[in-house]
Chains A and B, each alone.
Chain A
Amino acid sequence: MRITVPTDDPALVGLVHVEPEEARILVSLADQLQALLADALESPVDDDSAVRRVLPDAYRHEPELADEWRRLSRRGLVDRKIGFARTLSTALAPVADEGIARTVPLTMDAALDWVRGIGDLRLVIADRMGIIVDGDEGAFAEPGLRDVYDWLAWMQDGIVQVLEVREPDAHPAAGGPS
């Protein structure tokens, strides 16, 4: 896989050169993430620690406020996260199916979905590997999982870099630093 900055098309922020095997791995992971998130919407309690990490409580010490926030925010948040993962699946499924290396173009919206979908995949894999604190190596992970985890980190960092090329100044949002 290579991530490059397109020079000739202002509508695109990145080009991802992807091999079929890489596409197959990503499609499989993104599909599993969508299923995990869909299950989380149906489940009254988060008994999966990975779900608790992807969808954490918004309050630590105020259970009533945490419950209220969850009631109001959770469905929309989960729907959007499923959408991020679906963007990955939809873009990469043709490469996986055809078995031919391709260049996948990333618009700004697609890049924002990719960078967040990949981030959610890393959170879930880290949980499965038993990474709890800085420096954990995921000692209980199956060997290939560590490679996938590091590969996703490289990919996410690459997309952040192309986003920074196109968007050097951040969008000012309401609410600055304290």
Chain B
Amino acid sequence: MTSIAPARARTDGATREQVIERPLHAAEVPWTIVVWNDPVNLMSYVSWVFRRHFGVDAQTADELMIQVHTAGRATLAHGNREHMERHAEAMHEYGLWATVERAPR
């Protein structure tokens, strides 16, 4: 998965390691997959989909499901666009309302 952590100079004890910054290629611009609240899908079903597809544990899945329900949306993953589009297709296959969004900068 593409990291969205900023490139920066780091000091690790005695050794000083310079992280070289390079411009991101367009294909690396981080994207996210967002699942939106809907009034139809059951909470038990949404939580099960999150466990099955994203491989999260039951507690994390429940927390993400509650976040979808109360905040209206939750971000389930981030990475390159092609990867996020595959997640979107899978979510739509499960009947969940999901969109690919640019990661906030």
Q: Do A and B come from one complex?
A: yes
**A contacts, CB < 8 Å to B:** 53-60, 65, 69, 73, 76-77, 80-81, 115-116, 119-120, 122-123, 126, 131-136, 153, 156-157, 160-161, 163-164, 167, 169-178
* B14-63 residues at the A interface, CB under 8 angstroms: 32-33, 37-42, 44-45, 48, 50-56, 60-61
CA distance A156 to B48 in the complex (A): 11
- Given contacts A160-B48, A170-B55, A178-B78, whether A59 and B100 have CB atoms under 8 Å apart is yes
**B contacts, CB < 8 Å to A:** 1, 32-33, 37-42, 44-45, 48, 50-56, 60-61, 64, 69, 75-79, 83, 85, 87-89, 92-95, 97-101
- Given contacts A167-B52, A170-B53, whether A123 and B40 have CB atoms under 8 Å apart is yes
CA distance A47 to B40 in the complex (A): 21
Count chain A CB atoms within 10 A of each CB in B42, B50, B78 and give the residue with the most: B42
Give the residues in chain A near B32, CB-CB below 8 Å: 178
3 smallest CB-CB distances across A and B, nearest first, come from A172-B55, A170-B51, A119-B95
CA distance A157 to B49 in the complex (A): 12
The 8 Å CB contact of B52, one of A54, A60, A126, A171, is A171
Inter-chain contact total with CB atoms closer than 8 Å: 113
Count chain B CB atoms within 10 A of each CB in A126, A173, A178 and give the residue with the most: A178
- Given contacts A55-B92, A56-B97, whether A174 and B83 have CB atoms under 8 Å apart is yes
The 8 Å CB contact of A58, one of B50, B61, B88, is B88
CA distance A171 to B56 in the complex (A): 9
How far is the CB of B30 from the nearest CB of chain A, in Å?
A: 10
- Given contacts A56-B97, A134-B37, A178-B32, whether A115 and B85 have CB atoms under 8 Å apart is no
Give the residues in chain A near B79, CB-CB below 8 Å: 175
Give the residues in chain A near B33, CB-CB below 8 Å: 175
Contact present for B60 and A156 (CB under 8 Å):
no
Instruction: Find the B residue at minimum CB distance from A56.
Output: B97
Contact present for A177 and B48 (CB under 8 Å):
no
Contact present for A56 and B39 (CB under 8 Å):
no
Give the residues in chain B near A69, CB-CB below 8 Å: 85, 88, 100
Pairs across A and B, CB under 8 Å, 28 listed: A58-B89, A58-B92, A65-B100, A77-B89, A77-B93, A80-B93, A119-B95, A123-B40, A123-B41, A123-B95, A126-B40, A131-B39, A133-B39, A134-B69, A136-B39, A160-B45, A160-B48, A164-B48, A170-B55, A171-B55, A173-B54, A175-B77, A176-B54, A176-B55, A177-B56, A177-B60, A178-B77, A178-B78
